[in-house]
Amino acid sequence: MTTNDMSGSDLNDVLLAVEKAAPVDAAQAVTRTIGLSVDASWVSFLVADMSGRALVRLAHVPIGAVAGGRRQDEDVAVVLPFDGGSQEQALRAQRVLVEDVDGQHVVRAPVTQRGEAIGLLEVALPIAPTEDVLQRVSRAAHTLAFVVIANRRHTDLFEWGQRTSPFTLAAEIQRRLLPSSFTCEADSFTLAAWLEPAASIGGDTFDYSLARDLLHLSITDAVGHGVHSALTATLCVGALRNARRRGGTLLEQAQAADDALTDNAAAQSPFATGLLGRLDLATGTLHLVNAGHPLPLLIRNGTTEPLTLPANRPFGVLRRKPYQVAEIELRPGDRLVLLTDGMLERGAAALDLSTRLQTLGELHPREVVRVLADLVLDVAGPVLPDDACLLILDWHGGHGTTRHTAAGAEPHRASRSSG
């Protein structure tokens, strides 16, 4: 790149390089391009680990050429646990940071798309970067986010790199039930969710989908543990998605999940609890169906209160009894928290969730779910007896106005501290 910006021609060159490369080499094609354009000493892409507590450096080298790390074919994944340093801070606060490392000026730029923190781009420069160079690295990191999203559909490389511990079959099934991104930023809301699995997998899931003027969201908890629980969750989530994609109302979605579990019940009579929501983005009106699930929490003006909702039966129980829907009016500044009983029961009860939530108001939902997951592990772990799952929605209002973003994130909504 010879201009001060990423022109259409430059972008075409990047996309052409990506298309020429195999999916496993797509990220390297982008990093090579940006490295050459700014005369970098070296460039590296670090993908966010699935635990949310580390970055993973992916490298393509002959087997045995790099010490340490996990190996698959000729790829090496080296885990770099968060330690409060500039790598973690750049990702948490969504800021481009520069650090002197062994005489090099290392630029660290978050690789982000709609608030999803995919990873980090590192560029080492022999001389101090100008503001123009920092902007170019930041834009390249944003481009890299789209490249990773597009190419991870075709290869296991990125997900393999993110997995610092092996998955059981039940965990593999459960993972496939979750949305591709755990975070979504829009003009009127910010959403983030997290699942901290039990050792034997407890069947918890969360889901969301953004329509033109509606946000659909759900959190469910299938009874039992292991593969049977994961299969029950599959029926539940599949039915909810199918009804939603057919244009079904909230009550029709609830009935579809109930029918799926009832019609396909095995000898152990599986059932699931759940909380379904549909938010009108133009008005802030939220409709909720609570199917035997823990009540959601609403944080408003610094106070945390459980929402009072009609008590409905779980999915797969007492088929003939109809579901009831509740209506809530959200106000700008509200924070809504959906959770499963793994955040509340047994050892997790010592967390005092309501109080903790009030101390985390300055953090982005992406960071709040991570902090709360860490706290649950502290009080109820290190191995959880049940899945702990939560989804946090910040309501801002102003649907349809222009978003103010920088390289895939909204800086004014980023965490003011790392938590």
Single residue among 162, 196, 220 that ends a domain in this structure: 162
What is the enclosing helix (H) or strand (E) of 122?
strand 116-125
Per-residue pLDDT tens for 109-160?
Answer: 999 999 999 999 999 999 999 999 999 999 999 999 999 999 999 998 888 8
Domain count, the chain: 2
The predicted structure's pLDDT at residue 416: 62
- CATH number of the domain that 311 lies in? 3.60.40.10
**Share above pLDDT 90 across residues of the chain, in percent, rounded to a whole number:** 56
Assign 2 a pLDDT band (cuts: 50, 70, 90).
Answer: very low
Helix %, strand %, coil % of the chain (to 5): 35, 30, 40
Per-residue pLDDT tens for 379-412?
Answer: 877 778 889 899 999 999 999 876 777 666 776 7
End-to-end, the C-alpha distance of the chain in Å comes to: 38
Both 340 and 295 in one domain: the answer is: yes
Both 253 and 394 in one domain: the answer is: yes
Query: Is residue 9 within 8 Å of residue 21, measured between CB atoms?
Result: no
Both 257 and 227 in one domain: the answer is: yes
Distance CA 123, CA 105 (A): 8
* pLDDT value at 323 more than 90: yes
Both 280 and 237 in one domain: the answer is: yes
Both 155 and 197 in one domain: the answer is: no
Report if residue 419 sits inside a domain. Answer: no
Both 225 and 107 in one domain: the answer is: no
Both 189 and 48 in one domain: the answer is: no
Any residues with CB less than 8 A from the CB of 338 and at least 6 apart, and which? 206, 217, 219, 275, 277, 296, 390, 391, 392, 393
Both 224 and 365 in one domain: the answer is: yes
Both 262 and 386 in one domain: the answer is: yes
Per-residue pLDDT tens for 20-49?
Answer: 888 888 888 888 888 888 899 989 999 998
Both 150 and 183 in one domain: the answer is: no
- CATH number of the domain that 35 lies in? 3.30.450.40
Report if residue 3 sits inside a domain. Answer: no
The predicted structure's pLDDT at residue 189: 96
What's this model's pTM, rounded to 2 decimal places?
A: 0.88
Single residue among 123, 143, 162 that ends a domain in this structure: 162
Assign 67 a pLDDT band (cuts: 50, 70, 90).
Answer: very low
Single residue among 118, 134, 162 that ends a domain in this structure: 162
Report if residue 323 sits inside a domain. Answer: yes
Range of the domain at 133: 8-162
**Share above pLDDT 70 across residues of the chain, in percent, rounded to a whole number:** 89
Both 79 and 153 in one domain: the answer is: yes
Both 126 and 173 in one domain: the answer is: no
Report if residue 2 sits inside a domain. Answer: no
The predicted structure's pLDDT at residue 77: 79
CA 193 to chain centre: 6
